[in-house]
A and B are shown apart, each in its own frame.
Chain A
Amino acid sequence: QVQLVQSGAEVKKPGASVKLSCKASGYTFTNYFMHWVRQAPGQGLEWMGIINPFGGSTSYAQKFQGRVTMTRDTSTSTVHMELSSLTSEDTALYYCARDLKQVTDTSDYCFDYWGQGTLVTVSS
């Protein structure tokens, strides 16, 4: 069965960076796009970006351009998301989510499997 297992909670100081991981299993890792979505406390869901695990190409939400980097390691079926220059507004639960579509098609930004979430707390 498809599983996305995310790394553990992080506590960071303002200005620092955080790198989260999401390990996929139960399917061919390079066949499906992967996304990152976050939810700040009391807020709604927010899309951050997408990575194509096959070739590594990425596309980010304008809000995070220049601050976010998504990478993948095909040897471990893991995607990573690094967010830099953290502020208190980055305190949130971060999810990785698999795309419904395979990379041979165009993503329609629909997410069928989700990781359990990683809590990132930014505090001085």
Chain B
Amino acid sequence: QSVLTQPPSASGTPGQRVTISCSGSSSNIGSDTVHWYQHLPGTAPKLLIYRNNQRPSGVPDRFSGSKSGTSASLAISGLQSEDEADYYCAAWDDNLKGVFGSGTKVTVL
């Protein structure tokens, strides 16, 4: 049971906008920053968004992050076939230290 709750799946057609939620509590998202990772099968996870809404160099601006209270969201606009992957939110938790979300599988229809 993950401390951070994400929907198990999300989908969209090419070009659409997809949003993934990450729900936490005052001991994690509510008190610290959120990061997002993209994980393709057979590869190492990739940092997509850090500190709520910052993109590392090389990450397309189609990916954006936001946080409000004890929840965060990752938005993928202009969905592309190569965006089909698992997405995880992550944060620091006052009790458990490093925590990940349950993961969301994004399917491009």
- Asked if A61 and B97 sit within 8 Å, CB to CB, the answer is yes
- Asked if B44 and A116 sit within 8 Å, CB to CB, the answer is yes
Q: Which residues of B contact A46 (CB under 8 A)?
A: 100
Which are the 3 A-B pairs with shortest beta-carbon distances? A47-B98, A114-B44, A44-B103
- Residues of A65-122 at the interface with B, using a CB-CB cut-off of 8 Å, are 95, 97, 100, 108-112, 114-117
Task: Given A108-B33, A108-B51, A112-B56, verify A47-B45 contact (CB < 8 Å).
Answer: no
Q: Which residues of A contact B102 (CB under 8 A)?
A: 44
Q: Which residues of B contact A61 (CB under 8 A)?
A: 96-98
Q: A50-B97, A97-B45 are in contact. List 13 more A-B contacts (CB 8 A).
A: A35-B98, A44-B101, A44-B102, A45-B37, A45-B103, A62-B97, A95-B44, A108-B51, A109-B90, A110-B35, A110-B47, A110-B90, A115-B44
Interface residue total, chain B, C-beta cutoff 8 A: 25
Q: Which residues of B contact A35 (CB under 8 A)?
A: 98
Mask: chain B, 1-28; 1 = CB below 8 Å from A; 0 = not: 0100000000000000000000000000
Is A59 part of the binding interface, using a Cβ–Cβ cutoff of 8 Å? yes
- Asked if B97 and A47 sit within 8 Å, CB to CB, the answer is yes
Separation of A95 and B103 alpha carbons in the complex (Å)? 17
| Smallest Cβ-Cβ distance to A50: which chain B residue | B98
